[in-house]
Amino acid sequence: MAGTNKEYTSNSTDNVSSTKGVRGGYIFVAPTGTALPTDYSTALPTAYKCLGFISEDGYVETVDSDSEDLVDMNGDLMDSPQTSRVESAQLTLAEIKAMTLKLMYGDENVTDKAGVITVKHNGNSNGTWVVVLDLLLKNNRKWRKVVPLFQCSELDDLTLAVGELAARALTAKYLTDESGNTCYDYIQSTETNAA
């Protein structure tokens, strides 16, 4: 388990796991520019608001990249530099509340006043946010995923019917931050102790 200061020299089931969200709250959002966490355990500042449940489909992260093969006059491959890289996530936020709607439709397009949430549907919905996921691996091993520039880029169909979750699946792009990164993962080690 974590913190044992051992190096595995063969396969180990300690490092094989499924993933689940931390019970009570596992996806959080804050305005862009909010201080980012830099580990898996420090409590999030109050600027981070819980987005609530994610549907049973989970959080699906995708990396799409392209490369261009460079060949010499004999047709031999000399290099294959990456020409593009886009990281994104697909998820369905299950709770209908102002914060989840702001993420999908834009901060300026959603108000919650006097007991009424008002949502304006228009093309001004591409703001960026900081998103943090607090996850657990096997044996309560911690994993925190931090996306500094999370931008909703696509909303799926909304089906309103009994027996169906009243929610839209969304796709979000991870924009590149000032350090050239799109995401940070902080995972509790099984091989080294915490400092």
Report residue 75 as tokens: 């047709």
pTM of the model as a whole: 0.87
Q: Which of 37, 30, 178, 153 is nearest to 86 (CA)?
A: 153
- pLDDT confidence tier of residue 2, bands split at 50, 70 and 90: very low
Determine the 3-state secondary structure of 21 from DSSP: strand
For 49, other C-beta atoms within 10 Å of its C-beta total: 19
Share of the chain above pLDDT 90, in %: 74
Q: What are φ and ψ of residue 50, in 5° steps?
A: -70, 130
Report residue 180 as tokens: 């050239």
Contacts of 26 (CB under 8 A, 6+ apart): 54, 133, 134, 135
Q: What is the pLDDT of residues 152-174, one digit of tens each?
A: 999 999 999 999 999 999 999 99
For 135, other C-beta atoms within 10 Å of its C-beta total: 20
Q: What is the pLDDT of residues 66-87, one digit of tens each?
A: 878 888 888 888 888 777 788 9
